[in-house]
Amino acid sequence: MNESTHAIFTRPQSFRDVVTHYCPGCTHGIIHRLVAEVLDEFGIRGRTVGVAPVGCGVFIYNYFQTDFLEAPHGRAPALATGLKRVRPDLIVFTYQGDGDLASIGTAEIIHAANRGEKFTTIFVNNAIYGMTGGQMAPTTMPGQITTTSPRGRNVEECGYPIRMAELISTLRTPAYIERVAVHTPQNIVRAKKAIRKAFQYQIDNKCFSLVEVLSTCPTNWGLTPNESLNWLEKTMQPYYPLGVFKTPDAEEQK
Amino acid sequence: MTRILMKGNEAIAEAAIRAGAIYYFAYPITPQNEVGEYMARRLPEVGGVFVQAESEVAVGNMLFGAVASGKRVFTSSSSPGISLMQEAISYMAGARLPVVLINIMRGGPGLGGILPSQADYFQSTKGGGHGDYRVLVLAPSTLQEAVDLTMLAFHLADKYCNPTMVLADGMIGQMMEPVEFPENYVEEPVPPKDWATTGCQGRAPVIIKSLNLDPVVLEKNNLVLAEKYKLMKRDEVRFEAYRINPKNRILVVSYGTMARICQTVIDELEQEEISIGLLRPITLFPFPAKEIFAEAVKPNIEVVLTVEMSMGQMVEDVEWAVKDKKPVEFYGRTGGIVPTPEEVKDYIMKILAKDTPAVKSWNG
């Protein structure tokens, strides 16, 4: 094998050489890395600004070698709108969890998507509030036990989990919306492709882009890392189907 | 310079553009809608950005993202809308960002009404949102002053890296007066915006945040803020002294539209050889406490009278400033009612006749 064909596994430049605070078996680290790899591959690190959420992902600004803003809970899409409108030459992305994006920040994400803001959202859906200690999220599965649904999520009282990718895809404004998962190597490769595409659409100044990533939370699910990967596939994936829900190209054909 | 007849809201909008603020985010609310309408028309002409947000919560946070670019950005709103922005204002104060907010006050509490009021004094000057912070607050009493203070607000925000508010009432927003815009506007230099998130090409990454889980670090940030507020109190206190002289029997303290009405009363009483002085705070934070004290303790002053379009908010700061050296009286109307010169005059005559005041502040 020629030396140039060796892919040497190194840390992406966009990622700092630090230990993250994430729990064992949590997939935030994988998703972070995929975003960092994409920033490296496009060579856009120096003009990228991330917007951190409130939740487990809040410390993302300590892990990326890019400028960062830390938003109030749920408001990352509003901050991203403000920054991107003033500096359209920057690459702006938000990184948000399900409590942040699908509960307290529902208005902000829907309206940012509907205005067709040219930034990218990485939406990490692990069906629970991680940082505050495992409370019920809008994406918590029916019957799922959390600290605030100790007898399991009762859909009679709490409704069914919100499928954000589908919800946002109903908007007429062109966008790129895809749902991926990171519980197997094959899915991780697909997730990377989706994230690449999302940033590509932004670089081309084409549309709003959002990638929903099904993720695990072994600590608050009360499962081992392996059981968590399995639970994601068996319980979450059937309810949250993977795939592309909307592309701007399809919109043009209409 | 040319004098132009303009509506207050439009004059404020134009003043912001003249100060270089061409990025505007807002949500419609009466009685300040003309600011947004003016901006929607005018900003595309000057290469700016107008975004009508989905809510004032979003407005506050769009400002947060936009001001992080290092550019001058602002919003305008009215009382209930400003309440919704308090989240972002607290975050921007904590992250030390120079945002400018225009509050054209209306009557409250709650949805209240749409007529002029000064009932947001507490909210504006004492913080408004959570945490230990202050907003620099400027209170115009004429349209010309609204223009001048709007332009100054951007300068002071940049100088102190602090949220700065122009606090006017619906009267200022809705009335028309001739105004002049400076032709060659020059400012003192402001500190470089090396904190802006403009992409880390060729430098270390910048993080703009208000989260500090380590209490020692968080306290330190609060101490930095406190130091800034001290500097504002030392260097930025602004006020107008009107007909203040050794013959004054009463010192009136009043701001904004209410101060203009008091001036009318004071002029009339002067004709009747009753001498009243007016100290009009222009900065509500920092508050001209020392200046009020200095005037209040003069031997001829019998009473200090605070007049507001509220049930008594600034009067608490006046009482604190006067330190029990003189009696402090209060007169106010609220809910959108603007006191007439006649009723203010009647009240002053009652005080002079040592008649028991009919209206007192709620804490009086």
Annotate A165-183 with DSSP letters as a single string. HHHHHTSSS-EEEEEEE-S
Query: Is residue A4 domain-resident?
Result: no
pLDDT > 90 in chain B, percent: 96
Q: Looking at the structure, tell me whether residues B227 and B348 fall in a common domain.
A: no
- A222 to chain B, closest Cα gap in Å: 26
Q: Which residue of A has its CA nearest to B202?
A: A46
Residue A199 covered by a domain: yes
**Do residues B252 and B264 lie in contact, with contact meaning Cβ atoms separated by under 8 Å?**
no
Domain check: are B145 and B77 in the same one?
A: yes
Q: Do A86 and B51 touch (CB under 8 A)?
A: no
Q: Work out whether the CA dihedral A47, A52, A57, A61 comes out positive or negative.
A: positive
CATH number at residue A236: 3.40.50.970
Mark out the alpha helices in chain B (DSSP H runs). Answer: 8-18, 33-42, 56-67, 79-84, 86-94, 121-125, 143-160, 170-174, 215-235, 256-271, 289-296, 314-322, 341-352
- Write the DSSP symbol of residue B43: G
CB contact under 8 A, A67 and B206: yes
* B204 found inside a domain: yes
Shared domain check, B264 and B226: no
Cα B325 to Cα B304: distance, rounded to the nearest angstrom: 10
CATH number of residue B325's parent domain = 3.40.50.920
In chain A, residues with a C-beta closer than 8 Å to the C-beta of B75 are none
Q: Which of A71, A70, A68, A80 has its CA nearest to residue A118? A: A80
Inter-chain touch A48–B73, beta carbons under 8 Å:
no
Each residue's pLDDT tens digit, B292-313: 999 999 999 999 999 999 999 9
Residues of A engaging B, defined by a Cβ cutoff of 8 Å: 45-49, 51-52, 58, 61, 64-72, 75, 78-87, 90, 107-108, 110-111, 115
Of all residues in chain A, the one with the smallest CA distance to B205 is A67
pLDDT in tens, B198-250: 999 999 999 999 999 999 999 999 999 999 999 999 999 999 999 999 999 99
Specify the residue for token string 């104060």: B93
Rounded Cα gap, residues A165 and B333, in angstroms: 52
Q: Which residues of B246-281 are buried (b: 16+ CB within 10 A; e: fewer)?
A: eebbbbbbbbbbbbbbbbebbeebeeeebbbbbbbb
Chosen domain end from B235, B258, B292? B235
Do B207 and A85 make contact, defined as CB atoms within 8 angstroms?
no
Which of B204, B235, B266 lies at the terminal end of a domain, its last residue?
Answer: B235
Residues of B whose CB is below 8 A from A64:
205
Query: Is the pLDDT confidence value at B267 over 50?
Result: yes
Domain boundary among B235, B252, B269: B235
The reply to whether residue B65 touches residue A83, judged by beta carbons under 8 angstroms, is yes
Strands laid side by side in the A91-97 sheet: A243-246, A175-181, A208-214, A120-125, A91-97, A48-52, A67-70, B207-208
Domain match, B7 and B126 both = yes
Span A34-41, mean pLDDT?
A: 98
Question: Would the CB atoms of B61 and A75 count as touching at under 8 Å?
Answer: yes
- CA atoms A190, A191, A192, A193: torsion sign: positive
B183 belongs to a structural domain: yes
Please provide the distance, in angstroms rounded to a whole number, between the alpha carbons at the two ends of chain A: 48
pLDDT band at A253 (very low <50, low <70, confident <90, very high): very low
Whole-number pLDDT of residue B6: 98
pLDDT attached to residue A252: 53
**Residue B267 and residue B220 share a domain:** no
Cross-chain residue pair A49–B209, CB shorter than 8 Å: no
Longest dimension (CA), chain A: 62
Contact B288, B237 (CB under 8 A): yes
Q: In chain A, whose CA is at the least distance from the CA of B54?
A: A111
Quickly list H helices, A75-135: 76-86, 98-99, 106-115
> How many of the other CB atoms lie within 10 Å of CB of B98?
26
What total of structural domains would you count in chain A? Answer: 1
Same-domain check for residues B299 and B344: yes
The dihedral over CA atoms of A170, A174, A176, A179, expressed in degrees to the nearest 10, equals 0
Query: Does residue B11 carry a pLDDT above 50?
Result: yes
pLDDT digits (tens, 9 = 90+) for A159-187: 999 999 999 999 999 999 999 999 999 99
What's the mean pLDDT in B159-185?
A: 97
Closest CA of chain A from B24, distance in Å: 9
Q: Helices B86-94 and B215-235, interaxial angle, to 10°?
A: 100
Q: State whether B204 and B311 are in the same domain.
A: no
Say how far residue A130 (Cα) sits from the centre of its chain: 14
Distance CA B135, CA B124 (A): 7
Asked whether the predicted pLDDT for residue B283 surpasses 70, the reply is: yes
Q: Take residue B262 and report the two structure tokens written for it.
A: 């008091």
Residue B363 lies in a domain: no
Shortest Cα–Cα distance, A89 to chain B (Å): 10
Average pLDDT, chain A: 96
Same domain, B225 and B343: no
Assess whether pLDDT exceeds 80 at residue B71: yes
Residues in B touching A65 (Cβ below 8 Å): 200, 205
Domain membership of residue B357 (yes or no) is no
Q: What DSSP state is assigned to residue A130?
A: T
In a domain, A150, yes or no: yes
Non-local CB neighbours of B168 within 8 Å, separated by 6+ positions: B8, B12, B102, B103, B104, B105, B139, B140, B146, B256, B257
* A46–chain B nearest CA distance, Å: 4
For residues B37 and B92, give the distance between their C-alpha atoms in angstroms, rounded to a whole number: 26
Using only the alpha carbons of chain B, give its radius of gyration.
21
Q: Which of the residues B55, B71, B200, B212 would you substitute to probe the A interface, choosing the one with the greatest number of A C-beta atoms within 10 Å?
A: B200
Kindly state whether residue B364 falls inside one of the protein's structural domains: no
pLDDT at B315 over 80: yes
- CB-CB neighbors (< 8 A) of A84 in chain B: 65
**Number of structural domains found in chain B:** 2
Q: Give domain status of residue B230, yes or no.
A: yes
Q: Are residues B206 and B261 in the same domain?
A: no
Instruction: Give the separation between CA A53 and CA A46, rounded to whole angstroms.
Output: 21
Residues B83 and B224 placed together within one structural domain of the fold:
yes
Asked if the structure places residue B80 within a domain, the reply is yes
Q: Which residues pair with B177 in a beta bridge?
A: B6
pLDDT at B357 over 80: no
How would you classify residue B161: left for phi > 0, otherwise alpha for psi between -120 and 50, otherwise beta? left
What digits encode the pLDDT tens for the residues A116-141?
A: 999 999 999 999 999 999 999 999 99
Residue B272 forms part of a structural domain: yes
Name residues whose C-beta falls within 8 Å of residue B110's C-beta, 6 or more positions apart in sequence: B80
Amino acid at the residue B159? K
Could you tell me if the ipTM is greater than 0.90? yes
Residue of A nearest to B23 (CA): A86
Compute the distance between CA of residue B255 and CA of residue B276 in angstroms, rounded to an integer. 16
Q: Which residues of B touch A51 (CB under 8 A)?
A: 65
What's the gap in Å between the CA of B197 and the closest CA on chain A?
6
Better pLDDT: B208 or A2: B208
pLDDT in tens, A39-86: 999 999 999 999 999 999 999 999 999 999 999 999 999 999 999 999
Residues of the domain holding A72: 21-253
* H or E stretch at B304: strand B303-308
Q: List the structure tokens of A246.
A: 């909307």
Shortest CB distance from A82 goes to which of B64, B95, B210?
A: B64
**A9 found inside a domain:** no
* Mean pLDDT of all residues in B33-52: 97
Residues 6 or more apart whose Cβ sits within 8 Å of residue A118: A84, A88, A202, A205, A206, A207, A208
Q: What CA–CA distances, in Å, run from B351 to B5, B219, B254, B327?
A: 39, 47, 17, 11
**CATH number for the domain that contains residue B172:** 3.40.50.970
In a domain, A70, yes or no: yes
Instruction: Please check whether residues B114 and B231 belong to one and the same domain.
Output: yes
Domain contains A3? no
Distance CA B236, CA A65 (A): 39
CB B315 within 8 A of CB B290: no
What pLDDT sits at residue A4? 61
* B212 in the same domain as B267: no
**What's the rounded mean pLDDT across residues B77-81?**
98
User: Is residue A7 in a domain?
Assistant: no
pLDDT of residue A7: 76
Q: Helices then strands (H, E): number in chain B?
A: 13, 15
What range does the domain containing B74 cover?
A: 3-235
Classify residue A176: in a domain, yes or no: yes
